[in-house]
Amino acid sequence: MQISPLIEMRSVTKEYRGIPAIRNVDFKLLPGEVHALLGENGAGKSTLTKIMAGVTQATAGEMRLDDKAVSFATPGEALAEGVAMVFQETSLVPSMTVAQNLFLGEEKLFNRLRGIYIAAQQFMQSLNFQVDPWADVATLGAAKKQMVEIARAVRQKARVIIFDEPTATLTPEEKRHFFALVRDLKARGVAVIFITHALEEALSIADRISVLRDGELVISDDADRFDRDMIVQAMVGRSLSDELYHSHGEDKIRPPGHKVLSVQNLSMSKIVKNNSFSVYGGQVTGIFGLIGSGRSETAKVVCGIYKRDFFHGGEVRLENKPVRYRTPRPAVMDGIVYVTEDRKIEGFYESMSIAENIHRAAQAANVSPGLFVSYAEMKAMAADWSDKLNIRAIDSDASVIELSGGNQQKVVIARALVQKPKVVFFDEPTRGVDVGAISEIHQLINDLAEQGIAIVVISSYLPEILNLSDRILVSRGGRIVEEFTPEEATEERIMYAAVH
């Protein structure tokens, strides 16, 4: 039976400054289906959906909604036709309450708050969302924010809701909740498109799956005709063995070297509480924790990015010498570096080239101490690290912002490694990184541990923790609550420790 599509894109092309982001893409969204959009970073997933939602406009091609040609100049026009997009960075006003956000833009001249709260409560209940309409949005977790965002889209009578990597910032628990929401939306007859990097998610929840590669639609079919390997193959254009996420158990576990870092009763306001743990040279210490468990904050306090509490702040010992950092600089000088989870905000210099990015870090750590900048040294350094980390760029002068997510992450890692660290904290080292680069980064982390460097990997992705770690620490409520060896660790046991 042929169902007429709700949205149909006919050979749509979008160019940015003459460079096509997507080329001749034909895409169909059927009514009431959940459609997963997969592809490596830079494959054009976001571009395609942004055109549908009116965020940007196609250079060529046609979009049809209900078999009528449409062209949205603004997100507002798309919303009026029932197409809503939920972005990765939520578009809610943090200082307002949930109810105020729900009714944002529909306020009457004399805005009666009580009426809004009652209406919001009723509406949230009708959706079965457990969100307090009086709560300030800033105080909500990522999952609840998403609920508010979804509620707003449903309220505005959206027939199509597009999610741009909805699960990237969610913890596994929150993900389960999100998928329940998606099923609920589907039951209401709303068609859902979601962009994701996680193949399991796509396989488990989507009715249909489309894969984009280099701006072209490679395949689009019912989800039950796919399996992992097929998708990966379609995404990268080559077959990738399942090696990527095998459990660590069967290989040799690296024995701990000397104790490099010892943290005792570290405290920072209400986020890090009496946290104690140790890190050993020559092995990978994995820290698993849900969002809000204080794992990143702990790392940032150790690295001097945040200041620990002035009184009863605890103690950090580096090679048995007590250290207290008020800024990151002395930490970097002592060989403790932090690889951020948010590279765009605090990882690299977007207008600078790869060479400049790496060289600035070398200068900052006095690895390149000269008063004058040596451009020859900079170039050699860039060539060396691009080679070691397999950083691929169109040309060596390209600014880092133009690179793919994986290559950007490699530049951020190179910036840390060029500082000759003794301890490296990797915070979500593969977030927003394409499949091919994930295995390269994992290999790199393993190599670093072999070289004797103390590595800490912070991740909320269980397969990553299980794959890399020689010791697994679980963080909850601002402290390390449990330690596992790779043999005894299972996804269930780690998760149990993280949530209870």
H runs (alpha helix) in 199-288? 199-205, 228-236
Closer to another protein by Cβ: residue 415 or 479:
415
Candidate ranges 75-83, 164-172, 397-405, 487-495; the one touching another protein (CB under 8 A): 397-405
Euclidean distance between CA atoms 78 and 53, whole angstroms? 5
Closer to another protein by Cβ: residue 109 or 394:
394
Candidate ranges 224-232, 255-263, 411-419, 485-493; the one touching another protein (CB under 8 A): 411-419
In the complex, what is the shortest distance from the CB of residue 329 to another protein, in angstroms, rounded to a whole number?
Answer: 4
337-366: which residues touch another protein (CB under 8 A)? Answer: 337-338, 340, 344-353, 356, 359-361, 363-365
* Per-residue exposure over 387-404, b if at least 16 CB sit within 10 Å of its own CB, e if not: eebebebeeeeebbeebb
Closer to another protein by Cβ: residue 263 or 331:
331
- Please give the torsion angle defined by the CA atoms of residues 390, 202, 204 and 199, in that order, rounded to the nearest 10 degrees: -10
Residue that is written with structure tokens 């969204």 in the block: 29
Closer to another protein by Cβ: residue 74 or 122:
74
CB 135 within 8 A of CB 93: no
Binding mask 80-119 for another protein (x = CB under 8 A): ---------x------------------------------
Euclidean distance between CA atoms 89 and 346, whole angstroms? 16
Closer to another protein by Cβ: residue 115 or 237:
237
Euclidean distance between CA atoms 471 and 487, whole angstroms? 10
294-333: which residues touch another protein (CB under 8 A)? Answer: 303, 305, 327-329, 331-333
Q: Which residues pair with 479 in a beta bridge?
A: 476
Of 6, 12, 21, 299, which one interacts with another protein (CB under 8 A)?
21
Euclidean distance between CA atoms 204 and 440, whole angstroms? 26
Closest to 10 measured CA to CA, from 85, 93, 78, 67: 67
Closer to another protein by Cβ: residue 169 or 467:
169
Candidate ranges 144-152, 272-280, 370-378, 454-462; the one touching another protein (CB under 8 A): 370-378
Q: Is 138 in the site for another protein (CB under 8 A)?
A: no
Instruction: Tell me how crowded residue 430 is: count the other CB atoms within 10 A of its CB.
Output: 24
How many residues contact another protein, by CB under 8 A?
Answer: 51
Of 110, 310, 311, 372, which one interacts with another protein (CB under 8 A)?
372
Closest to 147 measured CA to CA, from 106, 178, 169: 178
Side-chain-side CA neighbours of 419 within 13 Å: the count stands at 27
Binding mask 43-82 for another protein (x = CB under 8 A): -x-xx--------x--------------------------
Of 407, 408, 419, 430, which one interacts with another protein (CB under 8 A)?
419
**DSSP state, residue 248:** G
Q: Is 158 in the site for another protein (CB under 8 A)?
A: no
In the complex, what is the shortest distance from the CB of residue 176 to another protein, in angstroms, rounded to a whole number?
Answer: 29
Q: What is the DSSP string of 124-191?
A: HHHHT----TTSBGGGS-HHHHHHHHHHHHHHTT-SEEEEESTTTT--HHHHHHHHHHHHHHHHTT-E
In the complex, what is the shortest distance from the CB of residue 382 to another protein, in angstroms, rounded to a whole number?
Answer: 12
Interface positions with another protein (CB under 8 A): 16-17, 21, 42, 44, 46-47, 56, 89, 303, 305, 327-329, 331-333, 337-338, 340, 344-353, 356, 359-361, 363-365, 370-373, 395, 397-402, 415-416, 419
